Structure 1
Amino acid sequence: MVSNRRQADDTDFPTLSDKDRDEAIDCLYDVALDPARYEALLDHWESAISPLRARADFAAPRLLDDPQIASHFRRAGEFLDRIAVTETPDEIDAILAPFDRVAALVFDDENRIRAANEAARTRLNLPAKARLGDLPINADDIEAVAATVRLLIHDGQKDSAVLRVRSRVEGHLIVLRLQRHLAPDGTALVIAASNEVAWPEGFCDILRSAFSLSGAEAEIVRHLVDCRSVNEIATQRSRSVDTIRAQIKSILTKTETHSQLELVRLALSVMDMTNLALASIPGPRVVSGGHGTLQELDFKSIITADGRRFDYLLLGDPTGTPVLYLPMDFGFVRWPASAEAEAKRRGLRIIVPVRAGYGASDMVRPKTDYDATFVADTAQLLRAEHVTRCPIISLSGDVYYAVRLARQHPTMFSGIIACSGMLPLTRREQYERMDKWHRFILAGAKYTPHLLPFMVKSGFLLARKIGKRGFVHAVFANSAADIATFENAEVFEAIVTGSDICLSDQHCAHEPFSQQLVSGQLADWSGDIDALRGQLPVILMNGAQDPQVPLATYHDFTRDYAWIEFHLFEDAGQLAFFRRWRDVLDRLTPLLSE
């Protein structure tokens, strides 16, 4: 794969070829329109950027410092903010639920209209059992639509198209945007949305914000979507034809489109996304409840030094011996019911902080150091719980916070057990070894941190769309141990319930998730962990099937930190704690008396 080199600040750095850039931008907007296409973006992005990582300076990586790419990622992220995933997978009619203002239909490969929303039936005057030929468009255009539907259903290389067709009403054009869609049973269908729209309130403001258009330019886009000619727009706006043409040229430049048709396609896509506005967030959750065997628990709160709300949970015995538990960035704040019961039987008070931006905990203020704030918040929480000394159990990358806490408060902690622990990543190959989902996010945070917010946000929306089970099966597809662990009924309940603080129908913690990755976790903090040598026990308990810390990387850790105590479970992956929690609690016991 060929890459160009761009000059910036007198320093060369690798960047994408024009072809790869254009294809990546296409994938980007596909994901903005439908988060279910996230994996296609992931695959294309990895194939394009992996060769660039090989040429980057690992100590100071600088990839894709490209204003054009950055602007597209920012814009696509703004579009994602307006998406609500409301599709119900067991009814074809639900496919059309998001199109409340747009006339929309669903075609099958026999040209039958399988579903039509109320706007389509009213504006297009369709009979009860309609076919493509019942649309009020000219006969020649009926065949063009039929051919395009066949192409989208049967050609896996193309999944969307935009057509302008002539209405039977003289002088009137209709724009149809057609999109391939797989029904829950695997049947290929085509969604067709027309420009028979009620222009959404405030949509001109959205266009102005997203594309830096003037008010007049946004109105011209509206006229173009309504299929008005340049002459008609000039008459309507009392301007010359040359003036309107100059304004359209400016609009094409600002939107980075190359024709009026492409511009209309972009505007209709944005309008669809605008119509899918995210539901407003209700009041804060105060209860963590299971779906079967987990005990319902109240979230507790403290007010931080800077006036924010900071929530936490107490698992096990609320008056027992304290243990700090750091649940990683997925927010796994609950344990399997048997594990919580065992913690209570052993007299353990498991203190679980809900970090800023998760659940009802207030987000940190802008330009605030997220890592330093979380460490300070957690120390304040332990003091509020009257803890003078305790061990830490951390999951995955949260060993970074465990080490920072132990460094800043050396007398407060008696040891660290890092389950699926990820120690400092100091070699490029440690990123390349990861499974593709983990590599996409973590290598993105390392090499292209300015593009990370969109990557994370779209991943979260994908998880909301396909459900947590579908998302876990995608992310851990190559770890049989993790899939088997997740499908244990108690583990499933704990992960799905606990992770509600990270992602639920009412809450999405994509912003703090991103901030954690770009703050300090992926820097070289080996000096901090080495400073704990001889000061307190550090124990790693990892799974051999961990997609983020595969065996080769685990063995790097054992060589780099020979003084650390290592345990490897052949039957576990990144969810090792949920599979081997009994081993973790057994190893914890001697740390309680130190």
Structure 2
Amino acid sequence: MKDNKNGETPSRLDDMIANVYEAVLDQDRFDELITLAESSITNRSAHRELLRRKRDIEAHFETAEKLLSSLQKPAEDYDRPVIRLGRDLTVLQANETAERILQITAGRSLEELDIDGDALGHLNEAVSGRAEDWPIVRVPHAATGKQVLLVLSAEEDPHNGKIWLLTGVERVWQQGASLAMQSLYGLTQSETDVLSMLVSGHTPAEIAEARDRSVETVRQQIKSMITKTRSRGSGELVAVARAIANSAQRRKPQTTSADHTRAELRLRDGRKIDYLEQGDTTGKAVVFLHGCLCGNRLPNTTNRYFSENGIRLLSPARPWHGQSDGHGILLHDPARYAHDICDWLDQLDLEQVQLVAFDVGAIFALVCLPHLRDRVAQLICISAQPPMRSFQDFSGAPPQQKLFALLPRVSVPLLSYMAKLGDKRLKRDGPGGFAQTVFGGAQADLEACNDPHLLDLFWQGHLFHVERGSDSFINDCRFVASDWEKLIKPTDVPIHFIHGTQNRSIRPERILAFAERIEAQVSLVENAGHSLPFSHWRDWVRFLD
């Protein structure tokens, strides 16, 4: 497919989507739509006209999406079996690999296949939301009979809602996991050999046959491991072992520089969490939850300060950002992110931390705080996004920020279109056009961008957000526009808002009103804008214990 304007072939599916949408809706028409959206709050006729235009545009978008969905998917879908499921475990779609090696086709139910009954029960519990640990399923290879391991995950589909996926994995156990279980719990080599098969979904009878032992011998070994790990049964034993296995799969740091280290590890359910570390690796732990702008890396000068003052800064990439995997349930219940944070802290052997959250990161921090219990000593929210009450909340924001704050309540397809098109334009213009595009009209933030190091941080931050596509940005916009305040629960953890007096994105009076509602402390920083945690970092690090 060629771009009608310049004849170039799009190199990515996202670019192709943006090109199709651009032919349907130009910028002038979009500006008219936003004006109507703002007027529709008080003007009934404007509201009717908004709905009419919205239906017309979305009809075009739906046609474009159907066209694009029929095109070839990214190559990674064909490297391993991928099965898309409905809530009743009916196969909605199976990729070519799944059809070839598993003989699975759309319309069939997993209950018709050769899958262990317990595994099917666990799948039903997972897709109905009754289980937090998602199972690994074994399906025999059609040609060889060898068991193929499939791990459960979820994604949001714009037409069908939540879609459950079973995706092939090579293995869930490795030598590092055996060594860890032997060291932590005193298991023998023979026991960890049995445990590796148990974690991979084999029954005691299958393990006995594969190891040429009696079933009773295997059961006795399982009973011994339950005792050594102080588990309450084989299910808990497997859950413990799977957590250790995921931890043992943690990769070495991807990149290390003079001022930061980037690494990743696996959560209990197999998803990946990407994080950055700065400062003193043996110091007091501070977790920084990044926002929708600027990324998760702080300026080099903060690294020197943290190193000299015994502070270990850990900055996880939130779901869908960087290389971190998302989870469909978080779109409806962001408080579930607390499970990810606790799992991550456990694997880093951290009992309690100070939590610092910027921009949209503050939404996650506030709704997760009651579920983190005694893991957080204090919460500092910098340039936080307060609950959105109306479109007028963003009346003074820079044009692009205003636009993306309004879009989720106007039309999610429009949001998707503009996010992809915006990313395309930012990459076309490069760092030179970034400041005006993102911070246009926000003088304090534009002045911050005069610092070449900060501008580079902001630019690299944008690339960090879209490493795996535009879902990170789209979902953040949806969080901002959602009714997330109702998820906040009372907590004894001290909450402190730090906000710039020159923040054009979020007016200080909005933060003052929100802080009063939840009985939080507020400190205003003179002449600081939305980029305060980067441009005025000394004004918030002084509040760390």
TM-score, normalization: structure 1? 0.52
1:321-366, Cα deviation, whole Å (9 max, x unpaired): 1111001123611111001111111111111111233222234369
Among 447, 451, 456, the alignment partner of 2:410 is: 447
Amino acid at match of 1:536: V
- Alignment of 1:384 onto 2:340: no
Question: Structure 1 residues 367, 494: closer, same or farther in 2, change over 3 A?
Answer: closer
Q: 1:33 to 1:499 in 2, by over 3 A?
A: closer
Aligned residue number for residue 141 of structure 1: none
Alignment length (residue pairs): 344
Please say if 1:512 is aligned against 2:468.
Answer: no
Alpha-carbon deviation of 1:521?
4.0
CA distance in structure 1 between the partners assigned to 2:391 and 2:442 by the alignment = 22
SS at match of 2:379: strand
**Contact residue 38 and residue 462 of structure 1 kept, 8 A:** no
Task: Please show how residues 93-242 of structure 1 align to structure 2 within 5 Å.
Answer: none
CA distance in 1, matches of 2:65, 2:505: 26
Gap runs ≥5 in structure 1: 1-27, 57-61, 83-283, 590-594
Report how far residue 288 of structure 1 moved: 5.0
Which residue is equivalent to 1:413?
Answer: 376
Contact 2:444–2:529 (Cα < 8 Å) also in 1: yes
For 1:265-280, list aligned pairs within 5 A: none
Supply the AA of the counterpart residue of 1:516. Answer: D
2:481 aligned to which of 515, 522, 525: 522
Q: Can you list the C-alpha shifts for 1:33-69, whole angstroms capped at 9, x where unaligned?
A: 599x98655533322332124358xxxxx95695432
* Other structure's SS at 2:524 match: strand
Correspondence 1:495 to 2:451: no
Q: Which has the higher contact order (CA 8 A, sep 6+)?
A: 1
SS of equivalent to 2:276: strand
How far did 1:429 drift? 2.6
| Identity across matched positions, percent | 19
Give 1:549 shift.
Answer: 0.5
TM-score by length of 2: 0.56
Cα RMSD (Å) of the superposition?
3.4
CA gap of 1:552–1:41, structure 2 versus 1, over 3 A, is farther
Distance 1:367 1:567, change over 3 A: closer
Distance 1:500 1:286, change over 3 A: farther
Matches within 5 A, 1:178-577: 287=254, 295=258, 297-330=260-293, 332-364=295-327, 369=332, 371-372=334-335, 374-503=337-466, 507-518=467-478, 520-529=479-488, 531-532=490-491, 535-557=492-514, 560-561=517-518, 563-577=519-533
Residues 285/460 of structure 1: CA separation in 2 closer, same or farther (3 Å cut):
farther
Q: Could you tell me how far apart the structure 1 residues matched to 2:254 and 2:63 are?
A: 36
8 Å Cα contact 1:364/1:373 also seen in 2: no
Match of 1:588, SS?
A: coil
Change (3 A) 1:565 1:360: same
| Separation of aligned partners in 1, 2:268 and 2:52 | 39
Code of the aligned partner of 2:474: S
* Structure-2 change in CA distance of 1:296 and 1:576 (3 Å): closer
> Residues 153-188 of structure 1: CA distance to partner in whole angstroms, max 9, x if unpaired?
xxxxxxxxxxxxxxxxxxxxxxxxxxxxxxxxxxxx
What are the Cα deviations for residues 484-525 of structure 1, in whole angstroms up to 9, with x where unaligned? Answer: 11221332233233443213xxx353113212332x443334
Task: For 1:313 and 1:29, locate their aligned partners in 2 and report how far apart those are by CA, in whole Å.
Answer: 31
Report the Cα distance in structure 1 between the residues aligned to 2:468 and 2:430, rounded to whole angstroms: 13
The separation in 2 between residues aligned to 1:460 and 1:286, in whole angstroms, is 28
Structure-2 change in CA distance of 1:552 and 1:316 (3 Å) = same
1:286 CA displacement = 6.4
Letter in 2 for 1:388: E
Q: 1:381 offset after TM fit, Å? A: 0.9
Q: Partner of 2:33 in structure 1?
A: 45
How far residue 426 of structure 1 moved from its aligned partner, in angstroms, is: 2.7
Find the aligned partners of 2:266 and 2:53 in 1 and give their Cα distance: 39
Distance in 2, matches of 1:34 and 1:341, equals: 49
Residue 24 of structure 1: aligned partner: none
CA gap 1:435/1:544 in 2 versus in 1, 3 angstroms: same
Q: In structure 1, how many angstroms separate the alpha carbons of the residues matched to 2:451 and 2:67?
A: 37
Gaps of 5+ in 2: 1-16, 45-49, 72-250
Cα 1:492–1:395 change in 2 (3 A) is: same
Q: Which amino acid letter does the alignment assign opposite residue 40 of structure 2?
A: L
2:373 match: secondary structure: coil
Greater radius of gyration (CA): 1
Letter in 1 for 2:535: R
Inter-partner Cα distance in structure 1 for 2:305 and 2:66: 46
When residues 366 and 348 of structure 1 are mapped into structure 2, their CA distance, relative to the original with a 3 A threshold, is closer
8 Å Cα contact 2:398-2:442 kept in structure 1? no
Quickly say closer, same or farther: Cα 1:29–1:517, change in 2 above 3 A.
Answer: closer
Q: CA deviation at 1:314?
A: 1.2
Q: Distance in 2 between matches of 1:422 and 1:42?
A: 25
**CA-CA distance at 1:382 after TM superposition:** 1.2
Q: Partners of 1:499 and 1:544 in 2: how far apart?
A: 24
- Opposite residue 577 of structure 1, the aligned amino acid is P
The one-letter code sitting in structure 2 at the alignment partner of 1:522 is A
Asked if structure 1 preserves the Cα contact closer than 8 Å seen for 2:335 and 2:368, the reply is no
C-alpha spacing 1:78/1:394, structure 2 compared with 1 (3 Å): farther
**What is the deviation of 1:401?**
0.8
Provide the C-alpha distance between the structure 2 equivalents of 1:433 and 1:313, rounded to a whole number of angstroms: 33
